[in-house]
Structure 1
Amino acid sequence: MKPTLLTCVIALSFCACKPSVRLNGTWKLLTGTTITKGVSEVTDYTKGQEFIKIINDNHFAFLKHDLNPARDSSNHFDGGGGSYTLTGDQYTEHLDYYGDHNWENKTFTFTVSLHGDTLVQRGMEKNDKEGIDREIIERYVRL
């Protein structure tokens, strides 16, 4: 009888654990909000540009480009990626690759939540070399 009771308690404790958010897939960034020293700035990533994030079991990559590119050097493409960990709703990116090397080898931790096909990622973005210390909130839709 005791082994059965112990087995039930163990099984129930696993059921009580909060499951991780399932992030695998391709996500389109809709809006990004930065909050710096109490001042908010919202960027609409559906106008004039496109930004996607691709996430597999242990790596992520992001790509951004202008939809109406100039025919000169002002045409901007941006991309980067690396590995990540996900524990419950805590998503931690380890940025291994990026065009601006001041951002490489940095770690950023976010709280993520899923609402239907919408992913919300919220956390702090800090880079002493760039003088950046701000909160970011990104809203993605699954493609």
Structure 2
Amino acid sequence: MTPYRWTAALALACSCLSAAPLVAQRSPAAGATARAAPRPPTCRVDGTWELASVSVDGKERALSGYQQRKILTGGHFMWLGQAARRDTILRRTVADSLRATTVLGGSGSYTVSGSAYTERLDYFYDPNGIGQTVPATCRVNGEYWYHSFTTPFDSLSAPADKRQHIVEVWRRVP
């Protein structure tokens, strides 16, 4: 055997021996047939998203030209929303001026574990939302993210007839 092949054979044998205790630790005991349940895949939401649709209590809501973008990275998120074509809104009333100049938004941190998605609001257009935690479910299918939650965010404190189930569908922005 050439010195190169001998060295390679020895290295392979040593690596198998050093891995043997690890394999033995992970192997089920003799006669054991139970296996741990596989962990659900984590919902991968990092990136930039654009609101595609919203339904409230199962009824589709028209976006009516309203636009939203949400950016998630490194455990932090930020979203902004505005009326589309704000430059064409005639400012005849105070309400018109508000629609033309208002940009809504929020920011904070988020965590994802399996299909459980949670946001903590550090900045929010409504001061009552600041500091709130928003539990939700999360599913990404191709370029779409299905974000489902209940309002008010603390649904246990609200009577059943005051709760709304919201499903936002976001499309990934390339």
TM-score (norm 1): 0.80
Question: Does residue 78 in structure 1 map to residue 104 in structure 2?
Answer: yes
Residue pair 1:27, 1:140 contacting (<8 A) in 2 also: yes
Aligned ranges 1:1-143 → 2 under 5 Å? 3-8=22-27, 16-35=38-57, 40-45=58-63, 47-69=64-86, 70=89, 71=91, 72-75=97-100, 76-126=102-152, 133-143=163-173
Residue number in structure 1 paired with 2:94? none
> C-alpha separation between the residues in 1 aligned to 2:153 and 2:76?
21
User: Which structure 2 segments of 5+ residues have no match?
Assistant: 1-19, 29-34, 92-96
Aligned length: 135
CA contact (8 A) 2:83 2:99 kept: no
Q: For 1:108, what is the secondary structure of its paired residue?
A: strand
Change (3 A) 1:5 1:116: same
CA shift in 2, pair 1:141/1:8, >3 Å: farther
Q: Choose between structure 1 and 2: higher strand proportion.
A: 1
Q: What is the identity, as a one-letter code, of the residue corresponding to 1:74? A: R
> Share of identical aligned residues, percent?
26
SS in 2 for 1:19: coil
Letter in structure 2 aligned against 1:140 = W
Q: CA deviation at 1:15?
A: 9.3
5+ residue gaps, structure 1:
none
**Could you say if the C-alpha distance between residues 48 and 4 of structure 1 is closer, same or farther in structure 2, counting changes exceeding 3 Å?**
closer
Map Cα deviations across residues 56-88 of structure 1 (whole Å, 9 max, x no partner): 021111111111222423323211111111111
* Moved >4 Å (runs of 4+): none
Match in the other structure for 2:4? none
TM-score between the two structures when normalised by the length of structure 2: 0.67
Q: CA RMSD in A?
A: 2.8
**Deviations along 1:25-81, whole A, 9 cap, x unmatched?**
00011111122xxxx542233x42211111002111111111122242332321111
For 2:78 and 2:130, the matched residues in 1 are separated by 13
Bigger radius of gyration: 2
Q: How far apart in 2 are the matches of 1:44 and 1:140?
A: 14
